[in-house]
Structure 1
Amino acid sequence: MISSSHKRHLLKALSWRILGTLDTMLLAWLISGNPLTGFKIGLAEVVTKIGLYYLHERVWFKVDLKQNHQFANSQYRHIAKTITWRVVGTLDTMLLAWLISGDPMIGLKVGLAEVLTKMLLYYLHERMWYRINFGLDRKTIEDE
C-alpha cells in the first residue's frame, strides 16, 4: 500500500498551476490579441484551478485505494486522470475567458486550444510526479 501526504498533493497542484497558467496566458494573449487579457485570465485561473486541482488529486487518490494495485500504477491511470482533469480545466478556462474578455468566442477558442496543449503538458507532469517519491510512504507487504 502507498500512503500519500497532503504536502505532495499541494506541491503537485502548485507545480501544475505554474505550468498551466503560463500556457493559458500565452494562448489567451495569442487568441485575444491582448496581453492584458491573457494575464487576467491566467491570474484568475490561479485561484480557481489550485482548488479544483487539489480536489481532483484527492478524489483520484481515494479511487486508487479502492482499485487494484496494477491499475493504480499504470499508464491507464495517468491517461484517465489526464482526461478527467482536462474536462474540469477546460470548462473552467472557457468560463473565465468568456467572463474576462466579454466574448464567448474567445472563451471557446481558448478552451479548445487548451485541450490540445494541456493534455500533453498534464500527462508529462503526471508521469514526472509518478517518478518522484516526495510525500510518499511506500509500505511493502513484507513490512506489514
Structure 2
Amino acid sequence: MKDTSYKRHIAKTITWRIVGTVDTILLSWLITGDPLLGLQIGLAEVITKMILYFIHERVWFRVNLSKNGKVLESRKRHIAKTFTWRGLGTLDTMIISWIISGNPFTGLKIGFAELITKMILYYLHERVWYRTDYGLKARKY
C-alpha cells in the first residue's frame, strides 16, 4: 500500500507552525518587553521548527505502540507525542532565543514559558487533527 500521509503531515506542519509561531512571538515579546525581538525570535524558528516537526510526524507515523496486539488509545498517543515534541521544540526555542537575544537566561525564560503554553496548544492541535481523515486512505491509529 502506498504511503499517502505526506500531504497530511505537511498540512499539520503548516497549521502547527502558525499556532506555534504566534505563541512564540507573543511570549518572547512579553518576556523581553521588546516586540521587535519577539518577532525576530518567532520568525527565526519557523524553518527549524517546520523541519523538526515534519520529522517528528514521520517518526510517530511509523511508531507502533501496540500492547498485546491492541493499538495505544489515541489520547495516550497524543500525550506521548506532546511530550516528545515539546522536548525538541523547547530546546530549539531556547537556543534560538539565546542566539538572537545574546542572553542565555532570556532563552531559558522563553523556553520554560513555552513548556506550558505549547503543550496545551499542541495537545489541542493533535485532537483537532485526529478528528479529520485528511491525507489518509485508511486510519492507522
> If the length of structure 2 is used for normalisation, what is the TM-score?
0.91
Match of 1:137, SS? coil
Cα drift, residue 79 of structure 1? 0.2
Name the CA shift for 1:8/1:139 in 2 (closer, same or farther; >3 Å): closer
- The AA in structure 2 aligned to 1:138 is A
Residue 19 of structure 1 corresponds to which residue in structure 2? 19
Structure 2 matches for 1:99-110, cutoff 5 A? Answer: 99-110=99-110
Residue 92 of structure 2 corresponds to which residue in structure 1? 92
Cα drift, residue 115 of structure 1? 0.1
Match of 2:137, SS? strand
Inter-partner Cα distance in structure 1 for 2:139 and 2:38? 45
Residue 58 of structure 1 corresponds to which residue in structure 2? 58
Inter-partner Cα distance in structure 1 for 2:47 and 2:82? 20
Name the CA shift for 1:139/1:6 in 2 (closer, same or farther; >3 Å): closer
- The AA in structure 1 aligned to 2:57 is E
Inter-partner Cα distance in structure 1 for 2:15 and 2:74? 22
Could you say which structure has the greater relative contact order, defined with CA pairs below 8 angstroms and 6 or more residues apart? 1
Residue 5 of structure 2 corresponds to which residue in structure 1? 5
- Looking at secondary structure, tell me which structure has more helix per residue: 1
- The AA in structure 2 aligned to 1:100 is I
Inter-partner Cα distance in structure 1 for 2:139 and 2:96? 42
- The AA in structure 1 aligned to 2:118 is K
> If the length of structure 1 is used for normalisation, what is the TM-score?
0.90
Match of 1:86, SS? helix
Match of 2:110, SS? helix
- The AA in structure 2 aligned to 1:52 is L
Inter-partner Cα distance in structure 2 for 1:28 and 1:139? 38
What whole-Å deviation, never above 9, does each CA across 1:58-109 have from its counterpart, x for those lacking one? 0000103x635521x4211000000000000000000000000011111000
Structure 2 matches for 1:12-51, cutoff 5 A? Answer: 12-51=12-51
Task: Please identify runs of 4+ aligned residues in structure 1 that moved more than 6 A.
Answer: none
Residue 79 of structure 1 corresponds to which residue in structure 2? 79
- The percent of aligned pairs where both chains have the same amino acid is 59
CA contact under 8 A between 2:13 and 2:54: conserved in structure 1?
yes
Inter-partner Cα distance in structure 1 for 2:138 and 2:100? 44
Inter-partner Cα distance in structure 2 for 1:59 and 1:88? 13
CA-based RMSD: 1.8
User: What are the ranges of 5 or more consecutive residues in structure 1 without an aligned counterpart?
Assistant: none
> Paired residues, what number?
137
